[in-house]
């Protein structure tokens, strides 16, 4: 799934109550990609890494040029096991589960189905197992069109619902 969709789904699922919770959920929704590819793009922007070559702008970038430390970061941020451990630590520290963090877990679930073996299949069981699912890439119309339609529909509902709530007060 693209990074913006991840953020929007996270906010919609777990950040509907307050503005603060909305943005916290958005943050956790994009965090797995932000702290892997995001770092790579910043590094590449400053010329410290070779930008991936896009073949005709269609094919996914060759993974060869993506440095090993980015791949490792991707493993860490896209592992359900790492997510569960961090989630439980935060739960212990706060004395209650931190709702916006669920957006991180949701990100991983979405990625499992929307990445194929060709480009960063989701290492969701890392470091215990290297089992990965050969999903349908999110760049395929069968994924991205329903994704956009659903997001727009649900956000419209969400804004109308919020307006009604305000008006009813």
Q: Which member of 7, 9, 14, 33 binds Zn ion (CB under 5 A)?
A: 33
Stretch that binds Zn ion, among 93-101, 104-112, 134-142, 159-167 (CB under 5 A): 104-112
CB burial of 64-84 (b: ≥16 within 10 Å; e: otherwise) equals eebeeebeebbbbbbbbebbe
Give the helix/strand (H/E) hosting 40.
helix 39-45
Interface residue with Zn ion, options 7, 15, 32, 123 (CB under 5 A): 32
Of 24-32, 42-50, 137-145, 148-156, which segment contacts Zn ion by CB under 5 A? Answer: 24-32
Closest by CA to 137, choosing from 75, 76, 59, is: 59
> 3-state class of 74 per DSSP?
helix
Residues 110-139 that bind Zn ion (CB under 5 A): 111
CA distance 116 to 22: 30
Q: Tell me, residue by residue from 41 to 80, as one string, x for binding to Zn ion by CB under 5 A and - for no binding.
A: ----------------------------------------
20-28, 33-41, 52-60, 136-144 -> range binding Zn ion (CB under 5 A): 33-41
CA distance 169 to 159: 16
Residues near Zn ion (CB under 5 A): 32-33, 111
């Amino acid at each position: 799934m693209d990074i913006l969709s991840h953020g929007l789904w996270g906010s919609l699922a777990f950040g509907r109550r307050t503005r603060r919770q909305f943005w916290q959920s958005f943050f956790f929704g994009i965090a797995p990609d932000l702290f892997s590819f995001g770092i790579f793009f910043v590094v590449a922007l400053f010329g410290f890494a070779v930008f991936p070559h896009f073949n005709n702008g269609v094919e996914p970038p060759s993974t060869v040029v993506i440095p090993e430390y980015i791949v490792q970061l991707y493993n860490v941020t896209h592992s359900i096991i790492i997510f569960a451990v961090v989630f439980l630590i935060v739960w212990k520290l706060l004395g209650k589960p931190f709702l916006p963090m669920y957006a991180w877990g949701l990100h991983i679930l979405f990625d499992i189905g929307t990445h194929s073996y060709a480009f960063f299949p989701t290492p969701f069981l890392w470091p215990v197992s290297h089992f990965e699912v050969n999903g349908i890439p999110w760049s395929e119309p069968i994924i991205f069109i329903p994704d956009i339609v659903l997001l727009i529909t649900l956000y419209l509902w969400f804004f109308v619902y919020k307006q009604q709530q305000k008006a009813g007060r």
